[in-house]
Every structure is written in structure tokens, then in C-alpha cells.
Amino acid sequence: MNTVLIGYRCCGKTSVGKYLADILSCRFMDTDKLIASACCTSIDKLVAEKGWAHFRQKETQIFQAIMHKENQVIATGGGMVLAKENRLRIKDAGFVVWLFADVNTIVQRMAADPQTPASRPRFSSGSLFEETCETLAIRSPLYENLADMTVDTTCHNPRDIARMIKRRLDHVRF
């Protein structure tokens, strides 16, 4: 059984995922890191050179390659849910946890994270706040429809969130 973490940028998928994998004694897989490694470049450079469509294709390939392995915590890229085939695969891959935060928190986290420029290319030329609101309006219903569990990461630290997820997993029958 896998645990699949979905959600928007800076909602804690990687941070929570690392703690959760440790607690569950399983492997941690981050699809964005796997894409960057497979393509030998940063996400930002990959998108700048080959475009979002190419990135989404790589994202689908990477997820398809890892989803059938067992005993993993998988942190997906925020846009993984955009493709219908990925949504179907996410549900098949395991227990799905949607990590979310309020817009102001997301924007503050992105601005404070030095990795943002290389790992989180912009979608538009508008303000980061507007871009985040617009993107969440599209993606939030997709996240919600996939989620077996939903966790607001606005006011909790990643370690506590991982413990919450573990407690829920202890009561889930597979």
C-alpha cells in the first residue's frame, strides 16, 4: 500500500512526505525530484526549454513508472491531477492525502523558499497571489475528489501532520 500526497505548491507534500516515510519505514518518492533527475536539469529549466506540455508528459511517465511499487510515500507535483489518466492512477496507487493551505500562507511560503525559482516556474505574468488563486480555483475540486483524507497545513508543522496521517492510516483497512 502506498500513500500519495497531492496538493498545491508549498502545502508540505515533500516536507510531510519525508517525515511520513520515516514513521512508516518506507521509501519516499518525490515526482518533481525524479523528473529533474531523469532530465538532468531543474524543473524551471525544463519548462523554459521544452514547455509545460513536455513537463506534464514526463510527470505522467514518472508516476506511471513508480505507482505499482509498494510501501512508498509519493509526493506528487501540484499539477499531477490535471490529466485524467493521472487522476485515475493516483486513486489506484494508494491512500490519497490532500494537503492544503490558505492562499496567503502558500504565497508567503513560496516567497520565503530559496528553491522556488528553480523548482516552481510561474504559470503567468500576473501577481503570485492572483496566479495562486486562479490555479487553486481549477485544481482544488480535483484534489478534493481524489482525497481519502484532507489536511490543512496552514497551522501545523510537517512532523505533526505526518503523525496525523499515520494515525488515520492505522485505522484504514486495505
Domains of the chain: 2-165 (3.40.50.300)
* pLDDT range class, residue 79, cuts 50, 70, 90: very high
Which tens digits make up the pLDDT trace of 124-143?
667 888 988 999 999 999 99
Establish how many alpha carbons lie within 13 A of residue 39's alpha carbon, considering only the half-sphere containing its beta carbon.
Answer: 23
Which residues, in sequence order, are CB contacts of 141 under 8 Å at separation 6+?
Answer: none
Which tens digits make up the pLDDT trace of 21-62?
999 999 999 999 999 999 998 888 898 899 889 999 999 999
Q: pTM of the full predicted structure?
A: 0.92
- The pLDDT score that the predictor gives to residue 52 is 87
Q: Which of 9, 127, 19, 27 is nearest to 76 (CA)?
A: 9
Share of the chain above pLDDT 90, in %: 73
Let me know the angle formed at the C-alpha of 34 by 19 and 166, rounded to the nearest 5 degrees.
20
